[in-house]
Each structure stands twice: as structure tokens, then as C-alpha cells.
Structure 1
Amino acid sequence: MSYFSTNKQAFFILSVLFLIFVEAAFFENGSVFLIFLGIGTIYYALKNNVKYRRSYFWTGAFLIGISILSMWSLRLMVFALAVYLLLRLWKGDEWLQTAPIYQATDKGLIQNKILSTQSTPIEAYEWKDIHIQGFVGDILVDTTQTVLPKKTSLVSIRQGFGKIQVVVPYEVPVRVFYSTLLGEARFFNGDKKRIINGTIHTEDGYPADEGSAVELIVSVTTWMGDVEVIRR
């Protein structure tokens, strides 16, 4: 079964909230609150074993549909998108797709930024524990390009929205703590897991009889974001 990526879900939810804010603040359309009523009705139908679950669900969907159709901001957005597409077709420009570019930094390896896509340096670098927090953006931490000291090293990331990937060497024991409101997690060679308002703790590479002088602890907290920890 396939899912929309968490980034797309976050984008959709934030877009809906933004439209509701614009509609209530600038167009004074009180019907936008029917959206919240409809969402609550659907949530009640899905989370509770009510007798008329289908009726509750479709009632909520109807309320949301009526509210969306009455939103002037949505109509203006559709109109602006149509004008943009017509202009692009008139000019005959090709659609350009650009891949995300990771920004390397040597001041604390990765810095706190509200909107940014960042990574550790792509060349060899000196290890420093990572403590970072941000709002929106993707983060890549590659520890295979450095030498971890013979002690406990820490990667601590707090991010609102975005994908986080941590690459670790095969010979280093790793503990992972992941907490999120909504996200998808994949650790080492395991399958992807959908997490809803939960926490996962896993570890890999620890010897059975004795501790290790070198270990890496990865702690990730997100609102909505996918996390992947892999060995390379």
C-alpha cells in the first residue's frame, strides 16, 4: 500500500490552514468553520465504533465540501494558477525541475535555520556533536565522512516539517530515538513504519557481551517529517 510522503501531507495541511486563515481574516467568510466541524465529525466516525459511522463520515465530508466551494480565496488561487499556466503555454517555456541542493557548513557542521535544506560536508570533516532545530527543510547527516571519537557521540535534531536522513558506518553501534506527530520511519534494513503521535526506540550494532567504546545516539523530534537511518 502506497502513501503520500509526509512532506506532501504536511504541505497539504499547511495549505488548508493558510486558506482558512485568509478566508476568515480577509473575506470574513464564517462558513470556513464548517471545515473544523466536518473534520471533527469524520474523526469521531473513524475513531469510535459508532452505530452510524458511515452517516457521520459523509456528513463531515459534505460540510467540508460546502465550505470549500464557498471559499473566495480558493477561487482566486485557481484563477491565478490558470492564468500562470496559460502564460507558460503562450511563451512556450519548458518546465524546469531542479533537484534539492544540500548546503554544507563548517560552523557547528549544521546551523539552526527556519527554512533551509542542509547537510554535513561532502568531504572529510572533523566530528562535532550536532544539536540543531529548525522549522521547514530537509537535513542530511553523513557520519561516514568523519571519524567518531571513542565515546558517545550525539545527533540531536528538532524539526517542524521535512525529511531527515542519517548515514552511519557499519562498525559503529547506534541508538535511535524518534518522536513525531505524523511521520514515516525507516531504520537500517527494516521496513517503513507509519507513526502517528508516537515514539520509537531502536538500536543496532551493539555486541552481546560487552559495551562499545564508540557509539552514536540519534535523537529526532518532528511535527510532520520522515526519518531514515541507514548504514553505508
Structure 2
Amino acid sequence: MQHFPTNRQAFFLLSALLLIFVEAAFFGNGSVFLILLGIGTLYYALRNTSKYRRSYFWIGAFLIGVSILSMWSLRLMIFGLAIYLLLRLWKGQAWLQTTPLQGSADTGLIQNKVMAAQSTPIESYEWKDIHVQGFIGDILVDTTHTVLPKKPSLISIRQGFGKVQVIVPYEVPVRVFYSTLLGEARFFNGDSQRILNTTIHAEDGYPADEGNRAELIVSVTTWMGDVEVIRR
């Protein structure tokens, strides 16, 4: 079964919360309460296993649909989005530009940013442990372009919303710790699995040779975001 991408789920959730805030703060529209009631009904339907689950779901969807159609903030957002798209098309700009960062002793391979799509350099680089925090954006860490030291190396990522992808070489043992409220995980070219408010652990390449050896430990924590750790 194909899941709806977590990034899009996060986008729609944040958009809905923004609309509710704008409508309540500036327009005083009573439909906000219908939206909250509809969201509560949908949540109850998704968590309930009774035979009335489908009925609760459609009631919640109906309440949300009716209230959204009467929201002035939604109309203004659609108008603003149309203007934004026209300006971007006029300027011919790319929708998303991911700029690889050249690591240094001061900044590290990836920086803490509120909203950004980041990746490690696309050419060979010197390895440094990664400790990064962000709010919205995708992060790509490709360790096949570097030489990991003969000791445990750490990738620690704390992200609000967005996808985290880590590419590791075949000969390096890897441990992965992934914690999220809602997301999808895919480890070592296996099948994807949906994660709901839990922490999972996976490892590959063990037992390794005794003595000094390269080892990679990946720790990822998100609110809503997908994680993919693959070998290449």
C-alpha cells in the first residue's frame, strides 16, 4: 500500500493550523469551531475500530469541508499563492535549490537552519561528526564521498518537518535510531514502514571485525518526517 508522503501531510497540517489562526484572529468566523470539531471527529475515527468508524470519518470530513469553504483566509491564501506562482514563473527561478555546504572547522558540514534544504558536499570532503537542528527542510548526508575514521562516527539530526536521507558505504557497520510522531522509515534498501509516535532501532553490517574499525551511528528525531538510510 502506497502512503501519502509525510512531507505533504506536514504541509497540509501546518497550512490548516495557519488558516485556523488567521480566521480566528482577524475575521472572527465561527466556522473555526466546526473545523476543530471536524478534526476531532476525524482523529476519533482514525483511532477507533468500531463499525461506525467510516461514518465518523465522513462526518468529520463534511464538517471541515463546509467550514473551509466559508473561510475568508483561504480565499486570500489562494489569491496570494496564485500571485506567488506567477512571479516565480516570470522570473524563471527553480522551485527548490539545495546548496551543498563546504564544511569547515567553524561551520561544520551542515548548519543549523530554521528553513533550508541542505546536503553534504557532492565532491570528496573531510569527515566531521554531524550535529544539526532544524525546523523545516530536507537533509542529505552522503558518506560515500568521504573516508570515515577507524572509530565510531556520529550523525545526530533533530528536525521538525522534512525528509532525512543518509547514504553509507557497504563496508561500514551502521546503527540507526529513529524517533518521530509521524513518519516513514526505510533502512538498508528494505521496505518502507509507517511510524506513529514511537522509536525504532535498526543495524546492519554486524558483527564487525575486532579492533579498530569504522562504524557509523545515525540518530534522527523528527516531528513529522521520513527517514531513509541506504547503502551505495
Shorter-chain TM-score: which interval?
0.7 to 0.9
Task: Trace 1:58-77 onto structure 2 (pairs within 5 A).
Answer: 58-77=58-77
- Aligned twin of 1:199: 199
- Aligned twin of 2:141: 141
Cα distance in structure 1, aligned partners of 2:66 and 2:80: 22
Task: Decide whether aligned partners of structure 1 residues 97 and 83 sit closer, same or farther in structure 2, where only a CA change above 3 A counts.
Answer: closer
Cα distance in structure 2, aligned partners of 1:88 and 1:98: 8
CA shift, 1:212, in A, is 6.5
Q: Secondary structure at the match of 2:165?
A: strand
Q: Secondary structure at the match of 1:41?
A: helix
- Aligned twin of 2:220: 220
CA shift, 1:57, in A, is 2.6
TM-score normalised by the chain length of structure 2: 0.88
> Is the contact made by 2:173 and 2:208 (CA closer than 8 Å) also made in structure 1?
no
- Aligned twin of 1:42: 42
Cα distance in structure 1, aligned partners of 2:87 and 2:225: 35
Task: Trace 1:11-160 onto structure 2 (pairs within 5 A).
Answer: 11-50=11-50, 52-80=52-80, 98=95, 100-106=97-103, 107-160=107-160
Task: Decide whether aligned partners of structure 1 residues 143 and 44 sit closer, same or farther in structure 2, where only a CA change above 3 A counts.
Answer: same
Task: Decide whether aligned partners of structure 1 residues 102 and 94 sit closer, same or farther in structure 2, where only a CA change above 3 A counts.
Answer: closer
Between 1:105-114 and 1:49-58, the stretch displaced more is: 49-58
Task: Decide whether aligned partners of structure 1 residues 125 and 47 sit closer, same or farther in structure 2, where only a CA change above 3 A counts.
Answer: same
| Unaligned 5+ runs, structure 2 | none
> Is the contact made by 2:112 and 2:132 (CA closer than 8 Å) also made in structure 1?
yes
Between 1:204-213 and 1:173-182, the stretch displaced more is: 204-213
Q: Deviations over 1:155-212 (max 9, x none)?
A: 0000011111111111100000011111111111201111111211000001278577
CA shift, 1:53, in A, is 3.1
Percent identity among equivalent residues? 77
> Is the contact made by 1:42 and 1:56 (CA closer than 8 Å) also made in structure 2?
yes
Cα distance in structure 2, aligned partners of 1:78 and 1:224: 25
Between 1:211-220 and 1:142-151, the stretch displaced more is: 211-220
RMSD: 2.5
| Unaligned 5+ runs, structure 1 | none
Q: Secondary structure at the match of 1:114?
A: strand
> Is the contact made by 2:100 and 2:122 (CA closer than 8 Å) also made in structure 1?
no
> Is the contact made by 2:98 and 2:119 (CA closer than 8 Å) also made in structure 1?
no
Q: Secondary structure at the match of 1:10?
A: helix
